[in-house]
Structure 1
Amino acid sequence: MTILQRAATIAVMTFSLAGLLGNSAPGQATGIDRSTTNLTALANLNALSPQNVPQIAPAATTVAAVEPIAPAEEEEFDTLAQAVAAQDIAAADDALQCLAGAIYFESKGEPLTGQLAVAEVIINRAKSGRFPADVCAVVKQRGQFSFVRGGQIPNINAGTAYRTAIAVAKVALADAWNSPADKALYFNTPDRRPSVRAIKVASIGNHIFYR
């Protein structure tokens, strides 16, 4: 092979090798780009995995605040007469009727404080544990109140005095007014004393109250 032929052969081989390199280079670059793309996609998938997804708090449901209703304040009165006048006497249960009956028969002619004190005696007895625990049973207890006949309260004329007695009974049961005889368990006229040993706590109208 002449020198010219050898040079031509080398040139052809050089061009062929250059062509081969030129054809393979884009394939390698594409592979790199593809790998980079796959890595990027994988990174994005990992970023969106459940443990990496930021938790979005559910929208708060707006609930109107309900303020507790404050209990109604007890009505205050300047006088016992106002407290009595403010009572509704339309309805009366058994205990109220028994208490009003005792007030009526024992003290309908007494001042309001005296009528309230009579009511207090009966209520105190029911709470004491020394007498029946029921207001009606206290009123009807044998030998305690002279107006009781055969264990029953006599019929009452429902006039002004009885309506007042019901109102006083309501005041007493609601503890809406402080009685000067709030600890009393007995009462009697000044010329008579209770048959038991007792301590005087108040004198109101025509009655003396004891505990």
Structure 2
Amino acid sequence: MIKAIVIALAALSVAVPAAAEVKQDNIRRLVRLEQRGLKSAQQAHLNGLITPVSTGAVRGFNYDRAWLASQPEASGGAQFQCLAEALYFEARGESLKGQFAVAEVILNRVDSPRFPNSVCGVINQGTGRKYACQFTYTCDGLPEHISEPAAWDRVAKVAKAMLSGAPRALTNGATFYHTHAVRPSWSRKFTKTASIGDHFFYRAGYRVSSN
């Protein structure tokens, strides 16, 4: 019995270093990216250094209204509430993918050193300063009421799924977006990553010439 255990441990000792070396190599590459002033985990994802966020915490996840409808009523703490409210006021009229895409932008900002490190911090950045807020509904001076229960139920489930580990597979790391109806000056400088529903999505970084 003891001999069998020793043999099994020996086999493990052969397999583990190879995996550890790969992990250490990825870590060293992430550190080099960080030293160049690039985003750590998200930048690594964009460059294929690590795998996307696992969907293990979100059983059967897909961008389908039937799947969303099958999910239990969503609730949660302050960060959940902030994300659900942002989706309600910013994207409740969007397609399901459009709502997930807006949620991606918010969570990408949370991960970025350029923005506050919490959902509520990102959403309320600049609130209280006229025309300086990041999300219009937080500083337009209009009262915000949740008057469409069905829409709230949907965006709440989207928020819960994203906070539970649903993949960010739609916007390619975007941290900005705007509607098709406007063209802010910053959009000419940033890299467009996606067009979903009524929004264009971008990440910081100058455009690469197509010539």
- TM-score, normalising length from structure 1? 0.59
Task: Quickly say closer, same or farther: Cα 1:125–1:73, change in 2 above 3 A.
Answer: closer
Which letter does structure 2 place at the counterpart of 1:99? L
Task: After TM superposition, give the deviation of residue 78 of structure 1 in Å.
Answer: 5.0
Matches within 5 A, 1:49-198: 75-142=59-126, 143-149=133-139, 154-157=144-147, 159-190=149-180, 191-193=182-184, 195=186, 197-198=189-190
**Residues 124-182 of structure 1, C-alpha deviation per residue, up to 9 Å, x if partnerless?**
00111110001001111111011003899933235101111101111211232443114
Size of the aligned set, in residue pairs, is 140
Give yes or no for contact 1:126–1:134 (8 Å, CA) kept in 2.
Answer: yes
Task: Quickly say closer, same or farther: Cα 1:121–1:153, change in 2 above 3 A.
Answer: farther
Residue 206, structure 1, aligned to residue 190, structure 2: no
Which letter does structure 2 place at the counterpart of 1:165? V
Q: Which runs of 4+ in 1 moved over 6 A?
A: 150-153
Give yes or no for contact 1:84–1:171 (8 Å, CA) kept in 2.
Answer: no
Matched-pair identity in %: 39
The unaligned stretches of length 5 or more in structure 2 are: 1-55, 127-132, 204-211
Which letter does structure 2 place at the counterpart of 1:89? E
Task: Quickly say closer, same or farther: Cα 1:135–1:79, change in 2 above 3 A.
Answer: closer
Taking only aligned residues, the RMSD between alpha carbons, in angstroms, comes to 2.6
Larger CA deviation: 124-133 vs 76-85: 76-85
Which letter does structure 1 place at the counterpart of 2:183? R
Higher relative contact order (CA 8 A, sep 6+): 2
Which letter does structure 2 place at the counterpart of 1:207? H
